[in-house]
A and B are shown apart, each in its own frame.
Chain A
């Protein structure tokens, strides 16, 4: 269906090709998963399929890309529209109209599909993707999952034979991601559509993939028709695969189900050592980041806080105290009020009732150096906080703002992510590096409270674990950290406490390990595989196994 014939793509002004010697074929009806570390060119690879690269992005193409025999070299993207449907990373920016139904019809209008056919296909697509109730809704009012499905629908109506999805679930909560992936599954199985998708959150998609296309930092691209084999050498791997590699399971399981069936022996070994498994909190530290610094005054307090927006109660009489040394995961579905809560703590929003105290002040009254010394906030789109011409200038600005000696921010950045060229324009940084830069800027003032909104969207596993290390060190130093996230793996790695919001209330407020092992909603993959053992990460499993081996050695 899609054929890459010795393709090289070199962007203008770049010395080496972004992708080099790509030579592979994706057969019809396959769901191909594109994996690779951040910045390895996944989006470029996807753009090659419909000719956006190089027709739109610029650059030089060598070799040929053929889709159903049509070469992208002589067909610009608009001439491929009937063959390839592309949904890019943030679907909102790709919407042309303002109503769901019109958006679904847009591609067909461009392709001059007959009105009667358009009418039929819109109805079919509404049903196929389960978005019929949304047909009259303004696009701006949709939730993330709905938006993604509408975006998929808007290219499906043209009846393409290939669907290209760039990070379709990265920004979604687990429920919305399920909806989108279920829809994609149906397209592959019922319509025989060829789907090529890239995703950082491999744990969500790898079990559905028919083949894996691996990109590495050197620009090499390989396709392996056996996902389990590809995962062994893949540069990024989901936790379930890491666990399988550690336990040397063959064949390597990709889904929770397969892993659980393979894990009986491992569970047995680990349980023998910890017979009181279901109540085993005592056998393990209460939370991955160690004990909470108790007794100290809370770093932030929400006291019966009420927020009403547009006639809807977003937060209802909410009480919450965050202590120094805690890393609190703020969870809940999209629109549950996580970002609102962070905004309250940062003082960018005011409550309609109740009191917000950070340190001993109302954060809304803080500004200038006082603010940066009390609260650091990394918003969902960290790029908004960067406006200097280079990384060095940005860091120098942060030093000035916080009154620290020159070089402080740059030093922090070097600790977070070594090897960043200070001359780079912030806009040219990869997602992970940009996050590190904003974090460094925010940490320069050494605030007592650090807030992060969805920090892991767009981060690969390496970047995620680096972020985890930084935050753990900070918390150990007495900083209070609140992270709003959907990412249960991050919570398992990092957080000490889970607060879940639902319908304007706190639904769960518990120690992270208790929360993660008591409910499948919060359970990371390792916990699901090893349940009822209260182990959350591969590192913990490794540690537990080592302890057991040591104990056995001591016995003999």
Chain B
């Protein structure tokens, strides 16, 4: 769809609803969780990268994708090292052999050392790659949405918890810069700036300062109307918050069930997947609605959920749905034993590519029509 023909909702620069990007990222992550096929996994990471490059928001968070990717590489490395040391795969091409270290009887089943096979290493690489790509998907979500905006969509019933998170996020960088200044101050008084003794002495002004700041912030929030209960009885508030919390826990368990294809069922019925997800969502929405019925606060410029939000989230959910539908298709499993070139099912390929559509279909970022964003050029170099 060329920009000229697209409806204005898609071309008018604005920030997308944070939930849309997170649904999209969760969809990609779910797809990644369902496969160890290295081609598909790399494709998913590439799709996420394309969207991040096109639509990331300026600011320190925009580098999350790269950071998470690097973290993913570390995980692959750890996974391979573990496989080499305590892997139990004895079949296939033997690369080299470590002397086997005898372990006590109670650790039966674990073997330290022994032959290292190509099959085992490949299996570890594919498995690690799966986790790395899932991480990259979450990194992408963080690059696309400033986490503080994500807090704007948390349910009203969890408002207090949200404020605590906001305060932590603002205090952390201040604490770090304070620590630097206190170090300088110690040097100015001619004292050492290293060693446990110095750190112990530095902790006093550091936390004293943080405490003063917190008190000052609390005073400011109090005098600006924070914590007005607007006549909702405490019992009712407790019920509302509990519903939301229980619901969100349900959603998380349901997601876990979806991500892990091998979750156990009760009496043949898979309870951890869709049923748990739906139940959790219903509870959370019910709690939020109850809390919202008696408004104690309002929200300034809530993010709209319009056509582009639907498109972006569906683009992410398509790969998830297709991968779940493919189920136990052997092509989704990375060929490690015996090693071979991975096959790519056309349906899976198309599904993952659908995930890249938001790079062009989502509204452009505000402030980008006058050339590249000032932050972007610099960060291209940094990345």
Residues in A lying within 8 Å of B, measured CB to CB: 50, 52, 55-56, 76-82, 84, 86, 88, 90, 93-98, 101-102, 105-115, 118-119, 122, 138, 154-155, 158, 311, 346-348, 367-372, 375-377, 379, 381, 383-387, 397-398, 401-402, 427, 441-442, 445
B300 contacts A108, CB within 8 Å?
Answer: yes
Q: Which residues of A contact B59 (CB under 8 A)?
A: 138
In the assembled complex, the CB of A400 is this many whole angstroms from the nearest CB of chain B, namely 9
Q: Which residues of B contact A56 (CB under 8 A)?
A: 218-219, 222
Q: Say whether B209 faces chain A, with CB atoms less than 8 Å apart.
A: yes
A111 contacts B300, CB within 8 Å?
Answer: no
A348 to B180, CA, bound (A): 10
Segment touching A, from B199-207, B268-276, B279-287: B199-207
From B216, B300, B378, give the contact of A115 (CB < 8 A): B300
Q: Which residues of B contact A112 (CB under 8 A)?
A: 228, 230, 295-298
A76 contacts B202, CB within 8 Å?
Answer: no
A383 contacts B222, CB within 8 Å?
Answer: no
In the assembled complex, the CB of B271 is this many whole angstroms from the nearest CB of chain A, namely 39
* Chain A residue at minimal CB-CB distance from B190: A372
From B212, B220, B301, give the contact of A119 (CB < 8 A): B301
Q: Which residues of A contact B378 (CB under 8 A)?
A: 311
Contacts A98-B148, A445-B190 known; A387 to B216 CB distance under 8 Å? no
Q: Say whether B325 faces chain A, with CB atoms less than 8 Å apart.
A: no
Residues in B lying within 8 Å of A, measured CB to CB: 59, 148, 163, 166-167, 169-170, 178, 181-182, 184-185, 187-192, 201-202, 204-205, 208-209, 212-213, 216-228, 230, 295-302, 378
- Sample (6) of A-B pairs whose CB atoms are under 8 Å apart: A90-B216, A96-B217, A98-B170, A112-B230, A367-B187, A383-B209
A105 to B302, CA, bound (A): 12
B301 contacts A115, CB within 8 Å?
Answer: yes
A386 contacts B205, CB within 8 Å?
Answer: yes
Seed contacts A96-B221, A102-B300, A106-B224; 8 additional CB < 8 Å A-B pairs = A80-B223, A95-B220, A96-B220, A111-B297, A115-B301, A118-B301, A368-B192, A385-B188
In the assembled complex, the CB of B293 is this many whole angstroms from the nearest CB of chain A, namely 13
Q: Which residues of A contact B218 (CB under 8 A)?
A: 56
Contacts A52-B222, A102-B300, A115-B302 known; A384 to B181 CB distance under 8 Å? yes
A90 to B332, CA, bound (A): 58
Contacts A110-B228, A445-B190 known; A78 to B223 CB distance under 8 Å? yes
Q: Which residues of A contact B201 (CB under 8 A)?
A: 387
Contacts A384-B205, A386-B205 known; A50 to B190 CB distance under 8 Å? no
Q: Which residues of B contact A98 (CB under 8 A)?
A: 148, 166, 169-170
A98 to B178, CA, bound (A): 18
A367 contacts B190, CB within 8 Å?
Answer: yes
A82 to B226, CA, bound (A): 11
From A88, A154, A384, A401, give the contact of B219 (CB < 8 A): A88
A111 contacts B228, CB within 8 Å?
Answer: yes
Q: Which residues of A contact B302 (CB under 8 A)?
A: 115
Contacts A369-B190, A371-B187 known; A77 to B301 CB distance under 8 Å? no
* Chain A residue at minimal CB-CB distance from B148: A98
B228 contacts A122, CB within 8 Å?
Answer: no
A441 contacts B189, CB within 8 Å?
Answer: yes
B224 contacts A107, CB within 8 Å?
Answer: yes
From B163, B178, B298, give the contact of A108 (CB < 8 A): B298
Q: Which residues of A contact B187 (CB under 8 A)?
A: 347-348, 367, 371
Q: Which residues of A contact B182 (CB under 8 A)?
A: 384
A154 contacts B224, CB within 8 Å?
Answer: yes
B230 contacts A88, CB within 8 Å?
Answer: no
B190 contacts A94, CB within 8 Å?
Answer: no
Q: Which residues of B contact A80 (CB under 8 A)?
A: 223
Q: Which residues of B contact A109 (CB under 8 A)?
A: 297-300
A97 to B242, CA, bound (A): 26
* Chain A residue at minimal CB-CB distance from B224: A107
In the assembled complex, the CB of A448 is this many whole angstroms from the nearest CB of chain B, namely 15
A78 contacts B189, CB within 8 Å?
Answer: no
In the assembled complex, the CB of B264 is this many whole angstroms from the nearest CB of chain A, namely 44
In the assembled complex, the CB of B98 is this many whole angstroms from the nearest CB of chain A, namely 49
A119 to B208, CA, bound (A): 38
Q: Which residues of B contact A90 (CB under 8 A)?
A: 216
A387 contacts B205, CB within 8 Å?
Answer: yes
Q: Which residues of A contact B169 (CB under 8 A)?
A: 98
In the assembled complex, the CB of B219 is this many whole angstroms from the nearest CB of chain A, namely 5
B219 contacts A110, CB within 8 Å?
Answer: no
A387 contacts B204, CB within 8 Å?
Answer: yes
5 nearest A-B residue pairs (beta carbon): A94-B220, A105-B300, A110-B225, A81-B225, A372-B190
Contacts A81-B223, A111-B228 known; A93 to B191 CB distance under 8 Å? no
Among A55, A112, A427, A445, the one with the most B-chain Cβ atoms within 10 Å of its Cβ is A112
A50 contacts B223, CB within 8 Å?
Answer: yes
A445 to B189, CA, bound (A): 9
